[in-house]
Amino acid sequence: MGIDLTEADAANELMRLARQIAHHNRLYHAEDSPEISDAAYDALVRRNSELEAAFPHLVRDDSPSRKVGHEVAASPLAKVRHDQRMFSLDNAFSDEDVADFVARVRRFLALPEDAEVALTAEDKIDGLSCSLRYEHGQLVRAATRGDGEVGEDVTANVRTIRDIPAHLTGKVPDLFEIRGEVYMAKEDFLKLNAAQEAVEGKIFANPRNAAAGSLRQKDPTVTAARPLRFLAWGWGAASEVPEVSQFAMMQRIAAWGLPVSPLLARCESVDAMLAHYRAIEHRRAELGYDIDGVVYKVDRLDWQERLGFVAKAPRWGIAHKFPAERAETVLEAIDIQVGRTGKLTPVGRLTPVTVGGVVVSNVTLHNRDEIARLGVRPGDRVVIQRAGDVIPQVVENLTRDVPREVYHFPDHCPECTSEAVAEEGEVDVRCTGGLICPAQRTERLKHFVSRAALDIEGLGEKTIDEFFALGWLESPADIFRLKHRREVILGREGWKEKSVDNLLAAIEAKRSPDAARMLFGLGIRHVGAVTARDLLKRFATLERLREVAVAAHSSPERGGGPAKLVEGHPPESPTSPHPQENLPVPLHHPADGPPPRAGEALAELTSIDGIGPAVVEALGDFFHEPHNVAVWEDLLSEVSPPPYVVETKDSAVAGKTVVFTGALETMSRDEAKAQAERLGARAAGSVSAKTDLVVAGPGAGSKLKKAAELGIEVIDEAAWAEIVRAAG
């Protein structure tokens, strides 16, 4: 599909992609049980990137482009916080993507076209990322990547892997974290599965799953019995980096006793990179381990430092993935699932087929339009593609011309029989039942207590389904009233005193929830985890955000009318059986400053990076609906989220708004903005009364003039460089 979409269609598709990719990330990273191929997964990620590039103002806070891996699931292994975040890599799928990547590096570093940009190239092993912490040359800790910030402690298990030395040889920095991939060779994988089958044990889908499952064992003796291996590809925290290039540093790591890829090479041009890629692809089948692409990294480490990172990936590295694998099978049925926003998602049930070593039996068909585009019906023979070796999709209908009844997408919700419609300009069909639809209500509750939201331990999907069926949970506020049902819960099968008390204690611990998590948990359209944090960074309190959102919704600039919220308590929530106290909740708090005017409120919202019209519309619509306000205020009668506090780096510009203008001579504009963000500042695009500092280069024009008019401090590029240097 191309990018010929309306803004509403793009926003809807980005929302769907965020959820799908999060689902498959959880299966792959946290549960080691992917449903789809890497190729199918990469296709979803690539589509997400294409849409974000075409509609940058629609980038979601929960966008896959801002996330690494997946949070650590419930596990017997201890959690470990990485000293230096473990990032993932952005992907390239074509020669043009690789050339564009090198061009971006040149632009960011402000390099001339004829300047050499050398990069390393090595095979990308399909295994489990692991960080090895060595102190004075001795292995003291090993951890999985997890979500990039927190992983699992697998030190005891790693000590059983013969490729990983307990002591490094030669002169080693006092602290050095070596990062690489734990994997299982193809031959060893086949032997393991044969042994598992002989004792009727678990059969692994592919070597990657076998490696992940073997490393994350509670009992190290189980890991010791599994033939795991390790290949280093980089490093993390270090007291000293003794080389000046990626290639030389990897050779140094090999000299210390860690294996590195024998296919690692240094390339001085895009043509050389692509030639090495094709050489590795040609050898792919004969290699003793699975790979899914080639990784390129800028060789000069000082350039890597300047390039820095985006939300989830380094600017100095990229993974060039191999083409997707395909297979044919039969589409046996099309089921409809109803999500928490009422969206009807068609899921194809397939005759199980193996694609790239993974058995695929389910595939998303995305929406009504995609079914029509493919012309699929139950009974059709279809081509399935696993893009990037994890998520499957239908790419072709081989029996489209065979006479068979056309599939009719339902026009009523399968859960509550309410009418299902697509709003004007939207591709998704949604149930109109709202809170009377049990699927939406339970899914919203599950989202509210999920790890990324309030993270209430013990209140899982089965428990929510059980309590909902009993009429105990109708809205988020009801969760905090469960303490009044303690004795009744104890009387139910499967509930013991300890489990009930643990659940109630976990709920009570969230009486003062993180404001951004709570906002995300409410499931407002287009307000994901990152957007929620960005909003609270600006407004600090939920009530201030509500006040600004209501004012912005009535702004003439967006064609809105006056908001219908009134001061005082709204009608009783139809989702809760509990009467509500008639306590007024004012729309404005004097401590928050004067009430915002409509135009100013809209301008303030849209000035936040990543906040576009879709988010403003969604917030306004949410607070415009009395039922939503009732749920909101009912919840705030049970919880008291403190003001959101942003931790900023200790620098002269931390917490300030900085504007760069004119031609910067020692760095690109992107690099300057990245520096500002690392120092805890906000890099804005225009000068206003809220601007604290302007960095002006040669040719600065209207922005410099406006800064002078407003009396804003102006410095040159050299002074900015000194601020950066002083912050370390």
Exposure string over 473-489, b if 16+ CB within 10 A, otherwise e? bbbbbbbbbbeebeeeb
Q: What's the pLDDT band for 341 if we cut at 50, 70, 90?
A: confident
pLDDT value at position 381? 95
- Rounded to an integer, the average pLDDT of 103-129 is 93
Q: From CA 348, how far away is CA 342, in angstroms rounded? A: 19
Nearest residue to 552 via CA among 629, 627, 613: 613
Q: Looking at the domain 434-508, which fold is it?
A: DNA polymerase; domain 1 (1.10.150)
Residues 518 and 8: beta-carbon distance below 8 Å: no
User: Comparing 381 with 702, which gets the higher pLDDT?
Assistant: 381
CATH number for domain 515-636, candidates 1.10.150.20, 3.40.50.150, 2.120.10.30, 3.40.800.10: 1.10.150.20
Position 461, amino acid: E
Residues 603 and 651: beta-carbon distance below 8 Å: no
Instruction: Give the range with max mean pLDDT: 3-7, 410-414, 530-534.
Output: 410-414
Residues 649 and 727: beta-carbon distance below 8 Å: yes
User: Comparing 391 with 282, which gets the higher pLDDT?
Assistant: 282
Q: From CA 9, how far away is CA 3, in angstroms rounded? A: 10
Domain ranges of the chain: 7-66+324-397, 79-321, 434-508, 515-636, 657-727
- Rounded to an integer, the average pLDDT of 218-226 is 87
Q: From CA 129, how far away is CA 145, in angstroms rounded? A: 6
Is residue 579 classed exposed, middle or buried when 0-12, 13-18 and 19+ CB atoms within 10 A define those classes? exposed
Active-site residue flag, 124: yes
Across 196-210, 373-387, 584-598, 632-646, least confident range: 584-598
pLDDT value at position 149? 87
Residues 152 and 146: beta-carbon distance below 8 Å: yes
Q: Looking at the domain 657-727, which fold is it?
A: Rossmann fold (3.40.50)
**Of residues 124, 312, 656, 673, which has the active-site annotation?**
124
Span 345-371, pLDDT tens digits: 999 999 988 776 677 889 989 889 999
Q: DSSP labels for 407-454?
A: P---SB-TTT--BEE--TT----EETTGGG-HHHHHHHHHHHTSTTTT
pLDDT value at position 256? 97
- Rounded to an integer, the average pLDDT of 112-122 is 93
DSSP 28: I
pLDDT value at position 208? 87
Class assignment of domain 7-66+324-397?
A: mainly beta
With vertex at residue 496, the alpha carbon angle to CA 492 and CA 497, rounded to the nearest 5 degrees, is: 115
Q: From CA 88, how far away is CA 86, in angstroms rounded? A: 7
Across 16-25, 479-488, 627-636, least confident range: 16-25
pTM: 0.51
Question: Do 434-508 and 657-727 come out as alike in CATH topology?
Answer: no
User: Thinking of the domain 79-321, which architecture would CATH place it in?
Assistant: 2-Layer Sandwich (3.30)
